[in-house]
């Protein structure tokens, strides 16, 4: 896997068996598989996560969106928090055993604040137009470049990123990318992951 990061975000459309079947194939090639299931209740997410672990997906490969206690108790690889989170320092203090804590940001000002609060990485987007953000204008490469220039922690770019767009995104200062539909909805998710990984490795070799 490349030194650049590849985060794969679940799309909320798959059952746990289907999600596990894909995750089992792709986890060796990615930095993290995010469990982002906004429409599922907490208890179902916890049970689903246990199922993923039982199928052999390493805990270090799994990040949970929200639910710090799940990230801590299951010793997951990371915790992703929404930009609306108001108590990041408190969460980090209580859940010290969480390996990485990331948070979504939408501006340079937010990025600076969250870095000061102790975030291990920042997720910034959406960079390009995407079906999941219909009607919302993309922030684009220039805003990404501005945010990346303001902080030291890794910036993970998200939103409409295809393999062809990996190079300009990384050249704008991102430390990695996050992908949703480009992998889960691909005809062959493993080949899709490999296409992204190939582009990340090409940039790493420059």
CB-neighbour burial class of residue 116 (10 A; exposed 0-12, middle 13-18, buried 19+): exposed
Residue 26's nearest CA partner among 164, 184, 204, 154 is 184
At a CB cut-off of 8 Å and minimum separation 6, what does 188 contact? none
Catalytic residue among 7, 34, 126, 198: 126
| C-alpha 201, offset from chain centre | 18
Rounded CA separation 108/106 (Å): 7
Which residue spans within 58-180 are E strands per DSSP?
62-65, 78-81, 101-105, 121-125, 155-158, 176-179
Main-chain dihedrals φ then ψ at residue 97, nearest 5 degrees: -80, -5
Active site residue 27: no
Question: Residue 200 in 3-state DSSP?
Answer: helix
Cα 189–Cα 193–Cα 199 angle in degrees, nearest 5? 150
Using alpha carbons, list the distances in angstroms from residue 3 to 55, 154, 175, 201. Answer: 27, 12, 9, 8
Catalytic residues: 126
């Amino acid at each position: 896997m490349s030194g650049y990061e590849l985060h794969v975000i679940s799309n909320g459309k798959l059952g746990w068996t289907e999600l596990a079947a894909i995750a089992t194939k792709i986890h060796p090639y990615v930095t993290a598989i995010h469990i982002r299931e906004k429409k599922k209740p907490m208890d179902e997410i916890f049970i689903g996560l246990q199922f993923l672990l039982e199928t052999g997906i390493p805990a270090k490969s799994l990040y949970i969106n929200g639910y710090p206690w799940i990230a801590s108790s299951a010793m997951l690889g990371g915790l992703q928090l929404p930009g609306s989170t108001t108590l990041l320092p408190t969460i980090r203090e209580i859940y010290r055993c969480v390996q990485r804590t990331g948070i979504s940001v939408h501006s340079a000002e937010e990025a600076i604040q969250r870095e000061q609060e102790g975030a291990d990485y920042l997720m910034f987007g959406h960079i390009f137009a995407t079906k999941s953000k219909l009607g919302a204008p993309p922030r684009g490469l220039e805003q990404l470049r501005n945010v990346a220039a303001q902080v030291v922690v890794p910036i993970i770019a998200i939103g409409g990123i295809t393999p062809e767009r990996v190079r300009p995104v990384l050249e704008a200062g991102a430390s990695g990318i996050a992908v949703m539909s480009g992998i889960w909805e691909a005809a062959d998710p493993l080949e899709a992951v490999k296409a992204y990984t190939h582009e990340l490795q090409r940039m790493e070799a420059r």
